[in-house]
Amino acid sequence: MKDTVKVPEISVVDKVELPAGETAVVVVDMQNDFVKPQGKLFVPTAPATIEPIKRLLDKARASGVRVFYTKDTHYEGDPEFEIWGEHARYGTWGWEIVEELKPIEGRDIVIHKTRYDGFYGTMLDDLLRVYGIRNLVVVGTVANICVLHTAGSAALRWYKVYVPMDGVSALNDFDYHAALRQINFLYRGVIVKSVDGISFTT
C-alpha cells in the first residue's frame, strides 16, 4: 500500500533585497560526488542548479557579499559510510567542489564538515559573527539533508535564512518540497522563487 501525501502550502516570494555587509551566501556541498553523473551519490537535479548558483555568486561577489562553501568531508572508516556508502572522501575527485563553482582562493571561505549540518563541529558560526553576518542565502544539495540541517542550524542561531528554489536540489520531488516547507514553516526561512529575485544593497 502506498500513501499519498500533500505538501502543505509553502510561502514563496518573488524578490528580496538584502544588505551586502550583513549577508553571506552559503553554498552547501556542491561537490563532484553529488553533482556529477559519475559521482558516488549523484543527485539527478543537482546539475541544473549550477548555473543559477553561479549567477547568484557573480552578483554576490560584485556587491562584496561574503561567500562560504561547505564541503562534505569523510575519512577512512567513517560511520556515515554504513548509511550512504563511501562518498566525499578527503582528497578524492568526488570530494572536490565542482569546477563551475570553484571557490576564489583567498576570498571565499571553505568549511569542511563531517556531518549534515554545516555548523556542527566547524568554525562557520564564529566566522559569520566575526564578519557581522545576519542573513544567509543558502543554496546547494541535498535539500532535505545537508541544506535543511544547515539552514535549520542557522535559524536556531538567529540568522535569517533565504533559500532560492532554483538553487537547491534533492533526490526526488517530495524531499525537495518537504525541505522547503520545513525551512519556511519551522525555521521561518524565506523561500525565494529564483536567485534572480535576490539583490544586494551596498
Active site residue 15: no
Active site residue 146: yes
The pLDDT value recorded for residue 92 is 98
CA nearest to 143, candidates 123, 120, 115, 173 = 173
Q: What is the pLDDT of residues 10-32, one digit of tens each?
A: 999 999 999 999 999 999 999 99
Paired sense of beta strands 66-72 and 16-19, if any: unpaired
Which of 36, 117, 146, 160 is labelled catalytic? Answer: 146
The pLDDT value recorded for residue 3 is 78
Q: Are 111 and 71 in contact (CB under 8 A)?
A: yes
CA nearest to 133, candidates 162, 164, 168 = 162
Active site residue 33: no
The pLDDT value recorded for residue 2 is 75
Q: What is the dihedral of CA 91, 93, 97, 101, to 10 degrees?
A: 140
Q: Under CATH, domain 12-201 is a member of which superfamily?
A: Isochorismatase-like (3.40.50.850)
Which of 113, 117, 160, 166 is labelled catalytic? Answer: 113
Which of 29, 33, 72, 117 is labelled catalytic? Answer: 29
Residue 61 three-state SS:
helix
The pLDDT value recorded for residue 5 is 78
Q: Compute the C-alpha angle 112/198/53, nearest 5°.
A: 40
Q: Are 163 and 134 in contact (CB under 8 A)?
A: no
pLDDT tens for the chain, 202 residues: list them: 677 878 789 999 999 999 999 999 999 999 999 999 999 999 999 999 999 999 999 999 999 999 999 999 999 999 999 999 999 999 999 999 999 999 999 999 999 999 999 999 999 999 999 999 999 999 999 999 999 999 999 999 999 999 999 999 999 999 999 999 999 999 999 999 999 999 999 9
CA-to-CA distance for 72 and 144, rounded, in angstroms?
Answer: 15
Sequence ranges of the domains in the chain? 12-201
Contacts of 63 (CB under 8 A, 6+ apart): 20, 200, 201, 202
For 82, half-sphere exposure in the C-beta direction (CA atoms, 13 angstrom radius) is: 3
| H helix and E strand count, the chain | 6, 10
CA-to-CA distance for 75 and 67, rounded, in angstroms?
Answer: 26
This prediction has a pTM of 0.97
The pLDDT value recorded for residue 6 is 81
Stated as kind and residue range, the H or E segment containing 181 is helix 173-185
- 93: which DSSP letter? G
The pLDDT value recorded for residue 1 is 67
